[in-house]
Amino acid sequence: MIDEQTATTVAGLTVRALPGARFGAEITGLDPLRIGDEQRAAIWDAYAERHGLLCFSFDRLLEADELHALTAVFGKNEFAPGMINGIGKGTPKGEEHLTVEEQVAALRARGEDPYLAFIGNLTPGTLEAKPVDDRFYGEWEWHSDMSYIAVPPTFSLLHGRVIPDEDGDTGFCSQVMAARELPEGLRRRVASRWAKHDSTYGSSGVMREGMDAPASPVEALGHAHPILRRVPGTGEEALFLGRRTNGYIVGLPLEESERLLDQLWAHATQERFCYRHRWRAGQVVVWDNRMMMHMRHPLANDDVRFMWRTQTKGEPVVPAGG
Ligand SMILES: O=C(O)CCC(=O)C(=O)O
Ligand SMILES: [Fe+2]
């Protein structure tokens, strides 16, 4: 049993519960370039027992190949959004003939890593200040990553590299626990319903490139998913809401959809399902987007924060009833 008081040691790894949370484990002692089978098994055990949230603490910053090796424990590494045509970006005119391999080669030739994304107000490489939209500093919306596409990435990994002295925490909210404690009345009303997850805005509230504000959530662009899903690996059920902005429950009049979504969101984000992560530089937090929503707490306008980000390829969403 993983708990906060006692650390367990397995295959050279130390595993303990994240402080004050009903889910999540912290793992120390890993060398990302030498992950053995027993360590892999210990990581998956901690993942299952602590419902899809792991924090790997290192006492130094990782190299990119180390983060990629850690990502590969959780699945097949996915390209970072915006790097490859059709994956988080459109296909520019005249590039229709380019294969993925050719695009990867062109990126590598420019010194860019197609699997690595950057989040923050510093320039990758030089770490010079980078101007960002004011909304970067505000509170980011609760969400599950890229749930507006048909097959969203399963795992996201965030590597803290420059962390403000205070603020800029990341919140996590267990949708497995939210589903487990879903009041019966609400459960009946959503059991076989699907909700559309809108793609217009990023989590900080900035409109994505090439998007227009939809006339209403009914018209918003995005993919619909079952509101209750099953996580095949653990068999657990989870609420799958995506993000509140422009959410819409398919087949309901808009006002009814809004009322029901408000009730679902009020339930899903209750304090008792949440954990707030205070970062230390060098940590890698890994979450399963099928089980976990996340958000970013605000930081001061003169603070700096810089993260590396990877994700794994997804698999089709399984409805809870199916
Ligand atoms: O920067 C953060 O804390 C979270 C950002 C985020 O939403 C993500 O990496 O998916
Ligand atoms: Fe996110």
Atom of ligand 1 nearest to the CA of 140: 7
> How buried is 3 (Cβ within 10 angstroms: 0-12 exposed, 13-18 middle, 19+ buried)?
exposed
CB of 230 shorter than 6 A to ligand 1: no
pLDDT of residue 211: 82
82 band by pLDDT with thresholds 50, 70 and 90: confident
CB of 308 shorter than 6 A to ligand 1: no
pLDDT of residue 64: 97
22 DSSP assignment: S
Atom of ligand 1 nearest to the CA of 143: 7
Mode of pairing for the β-strands spanning 13-17 and 274-277 = unpaired
How confident is the model over 9-55, as pLDDT tens digits?
A: 999 999 999 998 999 999 999 999 999 999 999 999 999 999 999 99
Distance (Å, rounded) from C-alpha 80 to C-alpha 84? 8
Q: For the whole model, what pTM was predicted?
A: 0.96
Across residues 109-124, what is the average pLDDT?
A: 96
CB of 158 shorter than 6 A to ligand 1: yes
pLDDT at residue 274 tops 90: yes
Tell how far the Cα of 145 is from the centroid of ligand 2, in angstroms: 5
Tell how far the Cα of 260 is from the centroid of ligand 2, in angstroms: 24
3 band by pLDDT with thresholds 50, 70 and 90: confident
CB neighbours of residue 114 within 10 Å: 20
CB of 307 shorter than 6 A to ligand 1: yes
Residues in the chain: 322
Atom of ligand 1 nearest to the CA of 294: 7
Q: E-strand spans in the chain?
A: 8-10, 13-17, 25-28, 53-57, 77-78, 117-120, 155-162, 170-174, 194-198, 222-226, 228-230, 237-239, 248-249, 274-277, 284-288, 292-296, 306-312, 318-319
Tokens representing 276 are 């707030």
279 band by pLDDT with thresholds 50, 70 and 90: very high
Atom of ligand 1 nearest to the CA of 145: 10
CB of 156 shorter than 6 A to ligand 1: yes
Mode of pairing for the β-strands spanning 292-296 and 237-239 = unpaired
pLDDT at residue 234 tops 90: yes
322 band by pLDDT with thresholds 50, 70 and 90: low
Tell how far the Cα of 10 is from the centroid of ligand 2, in angstroms: 30
Average pLDDT, the chain: 95
Domains and CATH numbers, the chain: 8-80+115-319 (3.60.130.10)
How confident is the model over 159-198, as pLDDT tens digits?
A: 999 999 999 999 999 999 999 999 999 999 999 999 999 9
Across residues 261-274, what is the average pLDDT?
A: 98
Tell how far the Cα of 11 is from the centroid of ligand 2, in angstroms: 31
